[in-house]
Amino acid sequence: MAVRSAGGARRTRKVPTVSIRYEDLSVYEVPLRQLRLADFSGSKPWRDVRSVRGMAHYSGKYASVTAGGHVVYESRLELARLLLADFDPEVQGIFAQPCRLAARVGDRVRHHVPDFLLVMRSGTVRVVNVKPADRLLDAKIAEALAWPGELFQQHGWGYEVWSGADRVLLENIRFLAGYRRPGVVPEDSVERAWQQVVDGEELALAERRLAGDRPAEQARPALMALLWSGRLATDLSRPLSGESVLRRRA
């Protein structure tokens, strides 16, 4: 495995450094102060994620529309955060386990691998760690997540420790994610629905009107695809139902 370094990153730990793995198995080490978003082009997750029977954690790969490929996760909670990022129109890039941060904290060198790095359309970057809320009550865990956040924020990047979201919201997005992939619903059906849907119309009424002589539920996939893409919006803090009000956004 080839190791490339910038600015003497391998020769000292007096300054925080970041290591990034690439598809060609090389590793790039760079001082955090020199780290740029472009350094992640062609990168791969720092750890290899495997799903083995009997594992305590639920891991896998999620087919992300935003990332244009599979993104790894190591728990159901991480998958939930990944779904939210994939659904968020402000997110244009997702990297899982993007790097390993090394820094001298106190009297020893410590290492940390963030769960996700999100690239926002605004040009900003957000580093995300996912941890159940009850585990954040452990002082050691809280401190282990605090020092990386301080360093990334000093670098000018956002930092988030995420412990979950509203259950109804997550269930709605999980359902809509079934319509996320291009081609799952024929594009002509999606465009036809987009041309005909009325702003402020309830979902059940829109389905009946768009279906015509067909069963109303046959018009549903196109509307769900429009909700996933963000061209239509509705109140996702309430369970999706025939009473959900559709709003045009694009």
CATH of the domain at 27: 3.40.1350.10
- Which of these three, 162, 178, 213, is where a domain ends? 162
- Which of these three, 121, 143, 162, is where a domain ends? 162
Residues 142 and 41 in one domain: yes
- Cβ atoms of 128 and 81 within 8 Å: the answer is yes
Q: Number of structural domains, the chain?
A: 2
Q: What is the mean pLDDT of the chain?
A: 93
pLDDT at residue 226, as a whole number: 98
- Cβ atoms of 94 and 116 within 8 Å: the answer is yes
pLDDT at residue 58, as a whole number: 82
Residues 200 and 133 in one domain: no
Residues 216 and 151 in one domain: no
176 sits in which H/E element? helix 167-176
Report DSSP letters for 19-65, one per residue: EEEETTS-EEEEEGGG--GGGGTTEE-SS-----TT-SS--EEEEET
The 8-class DSSP code of residue 151 comes to H
Q: Which tens digit of pLDDT belongs to each residue from 132-159?
A: 999 999 999 999 999 999 999 999 999 9
Q: Which tens digit of pLDDT belongs to each residue from 159-209?
A: 999 999 999 999 999 999 999 999 999 999 999 999 999 999 999 999 999
Distance CA 91, CA 166 (A): 20
pLDDT, average across residues 66-94? 97
Distance CA 185, CA 162 (A): 32
The domain in which residue 239 lies consists of 167-248
Residues 127 and 185 in one domain: no
Residues 27 and 94 in one domain: yes
- Which of these three, 143, 162, 181, is where a domain ends? 162
Residues 9 and 32 in one domain: yes
Residues 104 and 177 in one domain: no
Beta-bridged to residue 105, according to DSSP, are 108
The closest of 163, 112, 159, 166 to 138, measured between CA atoms, is 163
The structure tokens listed for 177 are 């994610």
- Cβ atoms of 83 and 170 within 8 Å: the answer is yes
Strand, helix or coil at 108?
Answer: strand
